[in-house]
Structure 1
Amino acid sequence: DESSDKPGGKRRLLIVIAAVILLVVGGIAAAYFTGLMQPIIDLVLGKHQAPEPQQAAISSQKAVFFPLEELVVNLNTGGRKSIYLKIRVSLELSNADDIPRIQSVMPRIMDNFQVYLRELRIEDLKGSVGMYRLREELLARVNAAVAPAKVRDVLFKEMLIQ
């Protein structure tokens, strides 16, 4: 190995090895911080256990549903023919004690929903992706309005586009 006897050859080899180690460590760190390694870590540490059926039934019974008033808004059509959205949702709460808080800020919740829904376009509501985004946006807006109370989910009871 004449190339390894050269001072530049050993230096180049050390740089390549250091770069590979840096890439591997960076990849592991990225996987850890994005949560991709969490199932593996839980499995190794023994934390990953399926909930017992009895516990799952008890936790689902604790949910409280709070229906909201029906909303009818016209969607953003950019000046074309008016398109209306009629929507009825229920809020899933983890604690019945949060109902008075929800009722006390109901005007704020309805205003947040109205303002957001009026800016939607028909394309925003197409497909399951559109429904998912709508659910996530409504959930974020209602949780901002009712804090410190917590809404688990926004459930669609009715949705009609006309």
Structure 2
Amino acid sequence: MAAVDAEVAEEEDEEASETPARRRIAGKVLVLYVALPALVLIGAGAGLYMSGIFGGGGEETPVEEVVADPVFYDLPDFLVNLSGPPPAHYLKMRVSLQVTDAEAVKRLELEMPRVLDGFQTFLRDLRPEDLEGSQGMLSLKEELMRRLTLATQKPLVTDILFREIIVQ
């Protein structure tokens, strides 16, 4: 019986030693022949999809923005005397307003007496030094825009364009 027990023990040892080796080989085969090709195919498919060749459906048509043509409104010429010590200085100015749309022009024409009054009172308080350089023009433009917004009570004008400015 000892001989039979020894044979059974040897067979169990052989089966036990073969099973982990077979499992390791089976795991490597599974990774090499199944998982790795699957990852390569998934990566290639994702790359083709992202490039638009596969499943991208072709070129997208660009959406064109509809940009409205600018609407301009010319104000009457301004001729005012500037404040300050003698000799007297004068400012002649021609201005165009860029308005939001054609409806804003109608609204602006209704508010024009208020706009002109605000411009005249501001321009008469200026001194010749206030209009020197680009900083003077920028501050003049900002103040005129502020007075326009106050006069019309809602923003109808998007920009003020100086067509002519003469200081004598």
Runs of 4+ residues deviating >6 angstroms:
none
Q: Look up the match of 1:160.
A: 166
The whole-number CA distance in structure 2 between the counterparts of 1:104 and 1:63 is 20
Identity of aligned residues (%): 42
Match of 2:75 among 68, 72, 78: 68
SS at match of 2:126: coil
| 1:23-45 deviation line (CA, Å, top 9, x unaligned) | xxxxxxxxxxxxxxxxxxxxxxx
The whole-number CA distance in structure 2 between the counterparts of 1:95 and 1:147 is 16
SS at match of 2:88: coil
| 1:43-88 deviation line (CA, Å, top 9, x unaligned) | xxxxxxxxx9x64xx53x432100000000000113x111000001
TM-score, length basis structure 2: 0.59
- 2:110 equivalent to 1:104: yes
1:142-157 map, 5 Å: 142-157=148-163
SS at match of 1:120: coil
Match of 1:133 among 114, 133, 139: 139
Distance 1:106 1:145, change over 3 A: same
> Are the counterparts in 2 of residues 109 and 141 from structure 1 also a CA contact under 8 Å?
yes
Q: Look up the match of 1:90.
A: 96
Pairwise CA distance, 1:105: 1.2
Matched AA of 2:76: E
SS at match of 1:134: helix
The whole-number CA distance in structure 2 between the counterparts of 1:135 and 1:66 is 16
Q: Look up the match of 1:45.
A: none
Larger displacement relative to structure 2 (82-91 or 141-150): 141-150
The gaps in structure 2 that reach 5 residues or longer are 1-61
Pairwise CA distance, 1:137: 0.5
Pairwise CA distance, 1:147: 2.3
> Are the counterparts in 2 of residues 98 and 149 from structure 1 also a CA contact under 8 Å?
no
- Equivalenced residue count is 106
The whole-number CA distance in structure 2 between the counterparts of 1:72 and 1:118 is 10
Pairwise CA distance, 1:149: 4.6
The gaps in structure 1 that reach 5 residues or longer are 1-51
Larger displacement relative to structure 2 (98-107 or 82-91): 98-107
TM-score, length basis structure 1: 0.61
